Structure 1
Amino acid sequence: MEELMTKVPVVFCFDDNLLMPAGVCISSLLQHARAQTFYDIFILHATDCRYPQSGFLEQLHLRYTNFRITYKDVGTIFCDAFEIRNITIAAYYRLLIPKLIKEYDVVMYHDIDIIFRDDLSDIFFSTDMSSCYVAGVNFAGAMGKEGKQYINNLGLDWKNYILSGDLILNLALLREDHIVPLFEREVNQSQYIYQDMDIINIVCKGKIKRLPPVFCGSLEIFELASKKIEQPLYTQQELQDVLLHGIVHYNGVKPWETVCPNMDIWWECYRKSIYYNPQFHFDFFCNKLDDYDRLSLWRRVKILSRYFTKGKIK
């Protein structure tokens, strides 16, 4: 059966602390697959990770047949690498994909703090990667004054700087041009604010392809789309596509930890997944109510005022 289906190779990288969100993420991937799509999933992990032997993700076979999971042990590489903004060492593992995934010449990479809402085969097979190392979505945060200055200081054009949470990678060309050692050198000697994202943009400069924002709907992109803000990076039609069926990327606070934009989308997927735990669900929202009850009257007024005047809570 697998041989008759359309195979899409997808790579994830995460540690034990993100196993449950990873399960929800992959659930959304499989849930929205077309009947003929088969996801060949690779997961890169450190040697000391326990989840590859836990059988947790294999529970997905109880509901889906359109996938396979292969684990790849990266060893202890990058164990002393620079960490910032609560981003873990596993974020660097995507830089090793050309070396570790020899089964394919082109693959997708995705973070696990996302929810898929559409099949990925169209964008994967329609994207011409012949002359590019990597393809991704432009970084909306680059449009601000500080973002532009930071990226310009890296020697990059802010209009060509891409997000690293959802990528298509030309592994054949990356291997042919020996790019992984350049990635590794940057990791070992740098202290970039955006870590792997900066490194990918620096090393792959000149061989980066733009993808539509539907492939990586970050918080900033959803704000642009919902408010129909005119800007130079995305068309209004592209932004409307994000609202309808774009990948939802929780690139800030996480919906399984606290209140955040688009949390309803994550929780809906969680409730439909085989990983749904009614007690976790109940306790989460009870704790949020308790947090609100502990706020001072003035803080509550400020929150309500911000919600009704600006439409968001920070």
Structure 2
Amino acid sequence: MNIVPIVFAFDSNLLYPAHICISSLLMSAKSDTFYDIYILYSTKSGLTDNSLCKILNYYSNCRIQYRLVDNSFDSSFEIRGITTPAYYRLLIPELIPEYDKIIYSDVDVIFRSDLFEIYDSIDLENYYLAGVNSLSHLIPENVKYYEKIGLDAHNIIYSGYLIFNSKKLREEDIVKKFKAMSKNKYKFQDMDIVNIVCKDKIKYISPVFCLTTYISEWNVYNKDVLFEFWDELTISKALSEGIIHYNGQKPWKGLCVNFDIWWEYYRKSPFFDEKFYFDFFYHKLNELDGLSLLKRIKILVRYFVFGRRK
């Protein structure tokens, strides 16, 4: 059996998408992969230790454990509606000492392939962690921001999907540094902290492991910029089977890039609710009926040209 440890951190506001995220992880697993799943939560999160018990009734290729987070981040900086559970990933090396290497993922994600190969093959001996380049240098305001805090925008990784070298992070007491920085008013919160503290000890991995809306957009409108980092085969693989990260608009709230993929996994999950499904699309149809013809055409063009790309 191939064991893959993976961690999620969220509160009750994201419980529903967490159900679908973790269901997609298990649906996409190979027959010999077993996921050792950890949920980080606090007493204020509104979660209980049976919040995901229904998953265990449907899937036998996993174990779910909960780890309680203390008040370390209760006064941490919040912005753009992103709350303190975003910081919980910074505690993983201490909270889960059972593993020397472990995956973290946000829950606004859909998994479309098995994770054992990347987990098993990645060598982090000289690195604190691994992540996917965020292409922050393509946004002028981000370039200025990262210059201000002493980072090169070309080297910034997303924090929504990370592989931690927990052993090295523990040995060098890096979690202490993470905690110390959590009260600073960084624009991108935990993402900035990870990039600052782990600077020069980050391993860059394929966008297969964090296909964001932003990467998808550049693939459509200016693909050449992606070739600075990845070859065409890598990009194609990311689009066809990559982990989709809905880091902008959320598909369970409205229309967005790849929203149809999220709903496809929702329909196949043990949490499918016909009424919720019907109400969502009926409501969206009513919204479309209220739009002008030109706006409807624009939405259809964007969906079929952009949203359907995989």
Work out whether residues 137 and 211 of structure 1, in 8 Å CA contact, stay in contact via their aligned partners in 2: yes
1:119–1:200: structure 2 CA closer, same or farther, 3 Å change rule? same
Alpha-carbon separation, structure 1, partners of 2:25 and 2:143: 33
Equivalent of residue 32 in structure 2, options 25, 31, 36 = 36
* Residue in structure 1 matched with residue 297 of structure 2 by the alignment: 304
2:63 alignment partner, SS class:
strand
Work out whether residues 41 and 47 of structure 2, in 8 Å CA contact, stay in contact via their aligned partners in 1: no
Q: 1:111 aligned to 2:101?
A: no
Moved more, 192-201 or 286-295: 286-295
* Residue in structure 2 matched with residue 91 of structure 1 by the alignment: 86
Alpha-carbon separation, structure 1, partners of 2:109 and 2:247: 8
Alpha-carbon separation, structure 2, partners of 1:292 and 1:80: 42
**Cα offset, 1:85, TM superposition:** 1.5
1:167 alignment partner, SS class:
strand
* Residue in structure 1 matched with residue 191 of structure 2 by the alignment: 197
1:191 alignment partner, SS class:
coil
Q: 1:283 aligned to 2:279?
A: yes
Equivalent of residue 15 in structure 1, options 11, 18, 26 = 11
* Residue in structure 2 matched with residue 292 of structure 1 by the alignment: 288
* Residue in structure 2 matched with residue 217 of structure 1 by the alignment: 211
* Residue in structure 2 matched with residue 25 of structure 1 by the alignment: 21
Work out whether residues 94 and 175 of structure 2, in 8 Å CA contact, stay in contact via their aligned partners in 1: yes
Alpha-carbon separation, structure 1, partners of 2:102 and 2:263: 28
* Residue in structure 2 matched with residue 133 of structure 1 by the alignment: 128
1:301 alignment partner, SS class:
helix
Alignment gaps of 5+ in structure 1: none
1:309–1:125: structure 2 CA closer, same or farther, 3 Å change rule? closer
Equivalent of residue 259 in structure 1, options 220, 231, 255 = 255
Alpha-carbon separation, structure 2, partners of 1:155 and 1:185: 17
Q: 1:269 aligned to 2:262?
A: no
1:312–1:215: structure 2 CA closer, same or farther, 3 Å change rule? closer
Work out the number of aligned pairs and report it.
Answer: 304
1:305–1:273: structure 2 CA closer, same or farther, 3 Å change rule? closer
**Cα offset, 1:303, TM superposition:** 5.0
Alpha-carbon separation, structure 2, partners of 1:164 and 1:306: 30
**Cα offset, 1:63, TM superposition:** 1.7
TM-score, with length taken from structure 1? 0.92
Q: Deviations over 1:8-52 (max 9, x none)?
A: 100000001111110100001011111111100111001133432
Work out whether residues 228 and 236 of structure 1, in 8 Å CA contact, stay in contact via their aligned partners in 2: no
Letter in 2 for 1:218: T
1:17–1:309: structure 2 CA closer, same or farther, 3 Å change rule? closer
Q: Deviations over 1:260-289 (max 9, x none)?
A: 110000000000000001111011111112
Work out whether residues 159 and 233 of structure 1, in 8 Å CA contact, stay in contact via their aligned partners in 2: no
Work out whether residues 225 and 243 of structure 1, in 8 Å CA contact, stay in contact via their aligned partners in 2: no
Work out whether residues 251 and 259 of structure 2, in 8 Å CA contact, stay in contact via their aligned partners in 1: yes
Alpha-carbon separation, structure 2, partners of 1:140 and 1:159: 6
Aligned CA-pair RMSD: 1.8
Alpha-carbon separation, structure 2, partners of 1:197 and 1:21: 21
Work out whether residues 141 and 220 of structure 1, in 8 Å CA contact, stay in contact via their aligned partners in 2: no
Alpha-carbon separation, structure 2, partners of 1:294 and 1:32: 38
Letter in 2 for 1:202: I
1:291–1:306: structure 2 CA closer, same or farther, 3 Å change rule? closer
Letter in 2 for 1:82: F
Alpha-carbon separation, structure 2, partners of 1:100 and 1:56: 20
Equivalent of residue 170 in structure 2, options 175, 180, 189 = 175
2:266 alignment partner, SS class:
helix
**Cα offset, 1:234, TM superposition:** 2.3
Alpha-carbon separation, structure 2, partners of 1:202 and 1:107: 20
Work out whether residues 162 and 201 of structure 1, in 8 Å CA contact, stay in contact via their aligned partners in 2: yes
